[in-house]
């Protein structure tokens, strides 16, 4: 799900008059922006200097925020606007380092020549020992053609590099995997598949990222068939895992039995179809889907789902509704059926605001602000690499979703993405599925 596009840090001084901080926060909120962190920089005898991090949809909204602040007067002064995001990306977010300290000729001979030749010969005789004596088994290629970067669309793979670096940083931070961005200058499925197959020997797994629909389906399916290492398209299955976890938590809060419910998916793009497949893998018997594309609905039928004739029909039939269309306000309050669970996941503007859905009778409603793929993909790959699995299967993904749901506190939709215990739980759940299959 796409996030808000603009984040800026505002340095604002407020005079020590009761109510000034509230006036400032209200002005920012009424402009439609979200307030992130607030940091007190300096407290003086007559005023306080603070840093406000604000999140906006676009530059126009940011300018509206700045105009509102500057128009407040009464001892509230905007001193500076800075782009900390750009500064944080200067020089990139990742870099390769050596695990060996090379300080002597003896170190050099062990790490490189002549000692490394012995290791090469060992691997030549027994290729599987590359998992022991190289980093291959702990390295994942993060592959993109740049055709569907976040909510920005087809902006090219180089422009998508900050996203790939972010994935690599999260791999390292949460599960100790080395993620290597691979930027492709082609969108042709044949060329993508051929290229990834050629580089695959150097990696323990392939994470496909921000590859657009419909060619993402062909690319993933072919690579899964032709490679003997795990392959996963995160925009499909990572999103589906976290969505299933969120729905499991929402159903617990609403007292709904998910497996016996009729589930509706609005929007059958890459994420929407994967979500439908995830529900079916979980054991949901009736999964309906709505989309303007006949091809997308045909794919749903191939996977075992039921295409809805219209949005109205889906809303009438389904106990649980998930929406991933990117169309703000698509679901009208009068379409909400009393007792429904509704997750309108498009950011920054959901298909229906949770408050409106609840007022219309929904038993539970939420938007997609907390549904983040980072809860899924690091632990999933840690689990399959630990188990040396050759593929990622739906039972593994369902186990990952269950693990995320079990880590979710009562009243929350999903756990905090920075909680390391969540990633450990996901990895253990996935590895356990692989172990059970091997022992069966």
Query: Residue holding tokens 């009562």?
Result: 410
* 107 annotated binding-site participant: no
Predicted pLDDT at 439: 66
* 209 annotated binding-site participant: yes
Beta-sheet strand order (sheet of 286-290):
306-307, 286-290, 262-266, 320-323, 341-344, 364-367
Among candidate residues 93, 112, 187, 410, the one labeled active-site is: 112
Mean pLDDT of the chain: 94
Domain chopping of the chain, boundaries: 6-89, 135-229, 236-439
CA 268 to the chain's CA centroid: 18
Residue among 299, 351, 361 nearest 325 (CA): 351
Judge contact between 222 and 211, C-beta under 8 A: no
Instruction: Identify whether 303 is a catalytic site residue.
Output: no
Instruction: Identify whether 93 is a catalytic site residue.
Output: no
Predicted pLDDT at 152: 84
**Assigned CATH topology for domain 6-89:** Alpha-Beta Plaits (3.30.70)
Peptide bond into 100 cis (omega under 30): no
Predicted pLDDT at 81: 93
Q: Could you give the CA distance from residue 195 to residue 184 in angstroms, rounded to a whole number?
A: 9
Among candidate residues 167, 224, 282, 297, the one labeled active-site is: 167
Q: Options 3.40.50.10380, 3.30.830.10, 3.40.50.720, 3.30.70.1020; which CATH number does 135-229 get?
A: 3.40.50.10380
Distances (CA, A) of 384 to 109, 227, 423: 34, 15, 13
Give the angle subtended at the CA of 367 by the CAs of 69 and 288, to the nearest 5°.
150
Predicted pLDDT at 87: 85
Count the neighbouring beta carbons within 10 Å of the beta carbon of residue 408. 21
Peptide bond into 114 cis (omega under 30): yes
H helix and E strand count, the chain: 17, 14
Count the neighbouring beta carbons within 10 Å of the beta carbon of residue 398. 22
Q: Coil, helix or strand for 152?
A: coil
* 210 annotated binding-site participant: yes
Query: What is the tens place of the pLDDT at every residue in 332-391?
Result: 999 999 999 999 998 778 999 999 999 999 999 999 888 899 999 999 999 999 999 999
Which residue ranges in the chain fall short of pLDDT 70? 1-4, 438-440
CA atoms within 13 A on the CB side of 104: 3
Read off the tokens for 357.
Answer: 């859905």
The reply to whether domains 6-89 and 135-229 share a CATH topology is no
Judge contact between 197 and 227, C-beta under 8 A: yes
Predicted pLDDT at 4: 57
Question: Which are the contacts of 48, defined by CB distance < 8 A and separation ≥ 6?
Answer: 13, 14, 16, 40, 42
Cα torsion 28, 30, 36, 40: sign: positive
Beta-sheet strand order (sheet of 178-183):
178-183, 139-144, 205-208, 231-233
Distances (CA, A) of 395 to 207, 400, 433: 18, 9, 7
Predicted pLDDT at 148: 93
Residue among 333, 292, 283 nearest 311 (CA): 292
Helix axes 59-70, 20-30, angle to 10 degrees: 150
Q: Could you give the CA distance from residue 304 to residue 315 in angstroms, rounded to a whole number?
A: 20
**Assigned CATH topology for domain 236-439:** Rossmann fold (3.40.50)
DSSP 201-267: GG-SEEEE-SPPTTHHHHHHHHHHHH-SS-EEEIIIIIHHHHHHHHHHHHHHHHT--TTTSEEEEE-
């Amino acid at each position: 799900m796409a996030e808000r596009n603009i984040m800026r840090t505002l340095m604002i001084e407020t005079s020590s008059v009761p109510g000034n901080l509230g006036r400032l926060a209200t002005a920012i909120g009424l402009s439609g922006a979200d307030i992130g962190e607030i940091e007190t920089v300096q407290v003086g005898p007559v005023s306080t200097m603070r840093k406000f991090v604000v999140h906006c949809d676009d530059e126009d909204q940011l300018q509206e925020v700045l105009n509102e602040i500057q128009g407040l007067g009464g001892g509230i002064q905007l001193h500076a606007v800075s782009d900390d995001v750009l500064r944080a990306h200067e020089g990139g977010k990742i870099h390769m380092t050596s695990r060996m300290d090379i300080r002597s000729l003896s170190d050099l001979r062990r790490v490189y020549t002549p000692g490394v030749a012995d290791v090469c010969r060992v691997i030549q005789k027994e290729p599987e020992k590359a998992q022991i004596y190289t980093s291959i088994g702990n390295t994942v290629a993060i592959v993109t053609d740049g055709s569907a970067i976040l909510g920005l669309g087809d902006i090219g793979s180089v422009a998508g590099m900050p996203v790939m670096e972010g994935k690599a940083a999260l791999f390292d931070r949460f599960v100790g995997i080395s993620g290597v961005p691979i930027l492709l200058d082609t969108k042709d499925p044949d060329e993508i598949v051929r290229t990834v197959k050629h580089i695959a020997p150097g990696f323990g797994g392939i994470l496909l990222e921000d590859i657009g629909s419909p060619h993402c389906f062909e690319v993933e399916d072919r690579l899964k068939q032709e490679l003997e290492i795990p392959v996963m398209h995160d925009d499909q299955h990572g999103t589906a895992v976290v969505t299933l976890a969120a729905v499991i938590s929402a159903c617990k809060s609403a007292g709904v039995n998910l497996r016996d419910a009729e589930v509706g998916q609005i929007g059958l793009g890459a994420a929407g179809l994967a979500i439908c497949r995830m529900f079916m893998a979980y054991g949901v018997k009736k999964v309906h889907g709505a989309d303007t594309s006949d091809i997308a609905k045909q794919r749903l039928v191939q996977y075992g789902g039921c295409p809805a004739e219209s949005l109205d029909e889906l809303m009438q039939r389904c106990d649980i509704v998930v929406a991933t269309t990117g169309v703000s306000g698509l679901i009208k309050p009068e379409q909400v059926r009393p007792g429904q669970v509704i997750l309108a996941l498009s950011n920054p503007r959901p298909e229906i605001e949770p408050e409106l859905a609840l007022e219309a009778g929904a038993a539970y409603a939420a938007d997609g602000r907390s549904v983040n793929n980072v809860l899924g993909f690091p632990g999933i790959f840690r689990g399959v690499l630990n188990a040396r699995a050759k593929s990622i299967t739906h039972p593994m993904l369902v186990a990952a979703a269950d693990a995320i749901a079990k880590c979710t506190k009562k009243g929350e939709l999903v756990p905090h993405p920075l909680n390391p215990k969540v990633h450990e739980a996901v990895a253990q759940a996935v590895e356990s599925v692989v172990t059970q299959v091997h022992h069966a």
